A and B are shown apart, each in its own frame.
Chain A
Amino acid sequence: MKLNMNQTRYAIIALFAAALGLLLAQPASADELGDLKDSFKARAAKLLELRDAGTVGETFDGWAALVKGGADKAVADFISAENADRKALYALIAAKQSIAADVVAERNAIRVFKSAAPDHYLKTKAGKWVQKKNVTIDD
């Protein structure tokens, strides 16, 4: 197949556009991770405080959750924001590794379980809240 002058020109432009797209796509992902990290960092101290108080716990599948019902709106909003960011983070890492986001979430649950304080609450697969000091973790 022989390309004429115009076709060659268009092909070169298309190639440049694709290369530019690839170049721009990489930092976007890194930026997204950076923004997410800032967002997590901003909540980290409060999250720890809520965990220490036994208000918020961690589920076996990688989400923050209210341990006892009837929390005020601020706590509920806090948990929603935390989980929204986690969802985005799990999706980003999963896409990078070409795996399901659930796998990343589960790995994060294990990470969080491991680093939890003895009094922190963890929700088992059976749906039961237990304190870390009373549970073993199967990696």
Chain B
Amino acid sequence: MKRTASLLMMTALPLLITGCKTEHTVNTNSVVEIKPIEIKPIYATIDINVKVKVDKALDSFFDYEETLKPAQDKNPGLLDDSNKGGAK
């Protein structure tokens, strides 16, 4: 009798343990969207500032050229900034 009871216990115990076990699986899927940082205007600003600074430095360095230059630059139409598609 005792033997039967212990055998029953041995069989029932694992079943009870596994039967009581609960398992929860939560599947999460997160999508983090990173928008590109708008840096173009910043670069544009730096670019313009650098251009201005460099142009100033060059103009200041070559200021003596004014005295050498003949009256040569009388064709501003060709130098208009809006006149695109040029030599560069």
Contact = CB atoms under 8 A, between A and B. Distances in A.
Interface of A: 33, 36-37, 40-41, 44-45, 48, 60, 89, 93, 96-97, 99, 103-104, 107-108, 110-111, 113-118, 122, 124-125, 130, 132-133, 135-139
A115 B78 contact: no
A39 B72 CA distance: 24
Contact of B70 (A60, A103, A117, A130): A117
Given A40-B62, A44-B64, A104-B58, A97 B53 contact: yes
B87 A93 contact: no
Given A96-B57, A111-B58, A136 B50 contact: no
Contacts of B42: none
A93 B54 contact: yes
Contacts, number: 88
Interface of B: 50-51, 53-55, 57-59, 61-62, 64-65, 68-70, 72-73, 75, 78-81, 83-88
Nearest to B67: A44
Contact of B75 (A97, A118, A122): A118
Contacts of A135: 78, 86-87
A89 B61 contact: yes
Contact of B88 (A93, A115, A116, A137): A137
B64 A107 contact: no
A114 B61 CA distance: 16
A53 B23 CA distance: 92
Nearest to B83: A136
Nearest to B46: A99
Contacts of A41: 64
Contacts of B83: 136-138
A116 B72 contact: yes
A135 B68 CA distance: 23
